[in-house]
Amino acid sequence: MLLEFKVKNFLSFKDEQIFSMVASNLTELPENRIEVSEGDLYLLKSASIFGANASGKSNLLAGISFMRGFILNSVKDSQDEGNIANISFALNTEYQKKNTEFELTFLHNDLLVRYGFEIGKKKVDEEWLYIDEELVFLRKDSILAEFSIDYIKEDEAYLKFSMTNEKSLFLTILSTTNTKFAEIILDFFRNNINVINGLGISRIDFTKRMIKDGDKKFKEQLLEMLKVADFNINNLEVKESKFQIQNVDDSEIPEEILNQLKLDTNRLLSEHNVYDAKGEIVGIHKFDSEVFESSGTNEFLKIAGPIIDTLQHGKILFIDEIDAQLHPLMTRYILELFNSEHNNSGQLIITSHNSTILDNELQRRDQIWFAEKDILEASHLTSLANYRFKGEVVRKDEKYEKNYLRGKYGAIPFIKPYSVENIFHSNSEEF
């Protein structure tokens, strides 16, 4: 489970920003948190991040995704001769030259892990790992500055560090050389973090694979979600596509579509009732869901699989712009699933423009976050629990949505005064 993510000098984040899933001592909605340490530590089941377009909301998820990818691909990517794919804050000449920093604190396999690294464009400058707040290792540049013999024997530590080049992570090297604690941590990044950020990756494949593999519990939960959401879908099944590439003139098909057809031979079929003139059910009809169902239905099917997987196995799911094609009530329903008392380990973090979920009956103040840029275009994150308006904290009985749209909490677009006539007749040309 996620406790905290720190990011500095990455994309629109200039100074260090801290995103926390540690529940504060607020009294409202206690069911929205999970007790993980006998009353000493509670973690939030969900969080939502709001802000104007280009405020930096998506960059938080991009930071998580970048950190995860850098860890998992460190050994392979370090063999490339080019620079590290590092994106620092570009709107400040000093920070263009500075390093980027990431740190993630999480619970996995009964271990409290705090791991982070600092990278420049050419090498890893610093890397650190703490388990249960005990230092496991500290790497500074090309030197293994400190390490704990409780986790790594001295001769083994230096031998494995000698295999670590300046662009690779020591943690990743350890995980590939049968070091148990490192394998556990890499397993967390590989299998327990899922980021859906709309970068063109089709998540429907996960749902199709689970159905095709015959996971009955998964399918039952998926159909129940569809029933509650009122999509009128009775059943789902996956079948091999009868489409044969060799029977079609490839030159008549755009390359992008042709590649997708070659990769995706499984089709997800949705089953609907067929009615007669009296409204009686007389049969069923199966649709290719990706062709005939609405974009909203398909969007729900794409995220439903990862949602169920996250709830079943206690993972962490990040969804960017969750309401892009979903009805506002669907977003609320998904938050209710995670905030339910029946969820005891899954976590959901979303970015959203859906102000209707800014509701004190749905979310605690520490579950609501705002992203906003300052005058120098650097993004900042603030929890509603920490927000101050004229020196006063936000009360739990406030109308969050109303106050947000009025600009009380900031993080909304400032629409400058304009003339409609000027827009339509700029440069003396009409649309």
**pTM of the predicted structure, to 2 decimals:** 0.89
Q: Which domains does the chain have, with CATH numbers?
A: 1-192+314-431 (3.40.50), 204-312 (no CATH)
Distance of CA 296 to the CA centre of its chain: 20
Contact of 382 with 373, CB cutoff 8 Å: no
pLDDT of residue 118: 97
Q: Rounded to an integer, what distance in angstroms lies between the CA atom of residue 68 and that of residue 318?
A: 13
CA neighbor of 372 nearest in space, from 123, 49, 127: 49
Single-letter amino acid code for the residue at 32? N
pLDDT of residue 200: 44
Q: What is the CA radius of gyration of the chain?
A: 24
pLDDT of residue 132: 95
Token pair for residue 423? 């827009």
pLDDT tens, residue by residue, 212-264: 888 899 999 999 999 888 889 999 999 877 555 555 555 556 665 555 555 46
DSSP letter at 417 equals: -
pLDDT of residue 314: 95
Helices 180-191 and 57-72, interaxial angle, to 10°? 140
Contact of 385 with 26, CB cutoff 8 Å: yes
Q: Which residues of the chain have pLDDT under 70?
A: 39, 77-81, 86, 198-202, 242-264, 416-420, 423, 425-431
CA neighbor of 362 nearest in space, from 333, 386, 330: 333
- Sign of the alpha-carbon dihedral angle for 281, 287, 293, 298: positive
CA neighbor of 4 nearest in space, from 70, 66, 63: 63
Reported for 384-392, long-range contacts at CB under 8 A and 24+ positions apart, including other chains, are 384/409, 385/24, 385/26
Instruction: Kindly list the strands in the beta sheet with 266-275, ordered across the sheet, starting from the edge strand earlier in the chain.
Output: 235-240, 266-275, 281-288
pLDDT of residue 343: 94
Q: Rounded to an integer, what distance in angstroms lies between the CA atom of residue 117 and that of residue 100?
A: 8
> In terms of residues, how long is the chain?
431
Name the β-bridge partners of 240.
Answer: 266
Q: Rounded to an integer, what distance in angstroms lies between the CA atom of residue 409 and that of residue 160?
A: 50
Name the β-bridge partners of 380.
Answer: 372
Give the CB-side neighbour count of residue 40, counting CA atoms within 13 A: 2
Instruction: Kindly list the strands in the beta sheet with 347-351, ordered across the sheet, starting from the edge strand earlier in the chain.
Output: 193-196, 316-319, 347-351, 46-50, 368-373, 379-383
Phi, psi (deg, nearest 5) at residue 244: -115, 120
End-to-end CA distance of the chain: 53
Instruction: Find tokens 């059943």 and name the residue.
Output: 235
Phi, psi (deg, nearest 5) at residue 247: -90, 5
Name the β-bridge partners of 266.
Answer: 240
pLDDT of residue 410: 80
Contact of 372 with 366, CB cutoff 8 Å: no
pLDDT of residue 43: 98
pLDDT of residue 177: 87
